Amino acid sequence: DAKTTQPNSMESNEEEPVHLPCNHSTISGTDYIHWYRQLPSQGPEYVIHGLTSNVNNRMASLAIAEDRKSSTLILHRATLRDAAVYYCILRDLRGGSNYKLTFGKGTLLTVNP
């Protein structure tokens, strides 16, 4: 499966926008880009996903580069509750059983009051 690379940690101030980058230079044409986040003492939760076009939902926006080799998760106004580890993963939604669902270490986002 294609691999993703994320910074180990990032810091932001409350009510400011946050841009979390993810590199996936070996992405294939059928790979969807998914983001999950893990709040302290909880299991990961789904944030957003996309294929080619930029996506928005109530939690965040996902900006995907034209060549799809990188993407950015955008939190428009960070709150203290957004402090979490953010995981960027690629998932081939064609199905099949030969896949690896590895989240890696993600990016630890610290939000300062």
Partner 1 sequence: KAGVTQTPRYLIKTRGQQVTLSCSPISGHRSVSWYQQTPGQGLQFLFEYFSETQRNKGNFPGRFSGRQFSNSRSEMNVSTLELGDSALYLCASSLVPANTGELFFGEGSRLTVL
Q: Which residues bind partner 1 (CB under 8 A)?
A: 36, 38, 41-46, 87, 91-93, 95-106
* Nearest-approach distance from CB 41 to partner 1, in angstroms: 7
- Indicate the residue among 50 and 106 with the shorter CB distance to partner 1: 106
**How would you list the strands of the sheet with 55-56, edge to edge?**
18-23, 70-75, 61-64, 55-56
The CA distance from 113 to 47, in Å, is 23
- Indicate the residue among 21 and 44 with the shorter CB distance to partner 1: 44
* Nearest-approach distance from CB 101 to partner 1, in angstroms: 4
* Nearest-approach distance from CB 32 to partner 1, in angstroms: 9
- Indicate the residue among 43 and 113 with the shorter CB distance to partner 1: 43
CA-derived radius of gyration, the chain:
14
- Indicate the residue among 41 and 53 with the shorter CB distance to partner 1: 41
CB proximity list for 92: less than 8 A, separation 6 or greater: 1, 28, 30, 31, 32, 99
* Nearest-approach distance from CB 60 to partner 1, in angstroms: 15
The CA distance from 51 to 54, in Å, is 8
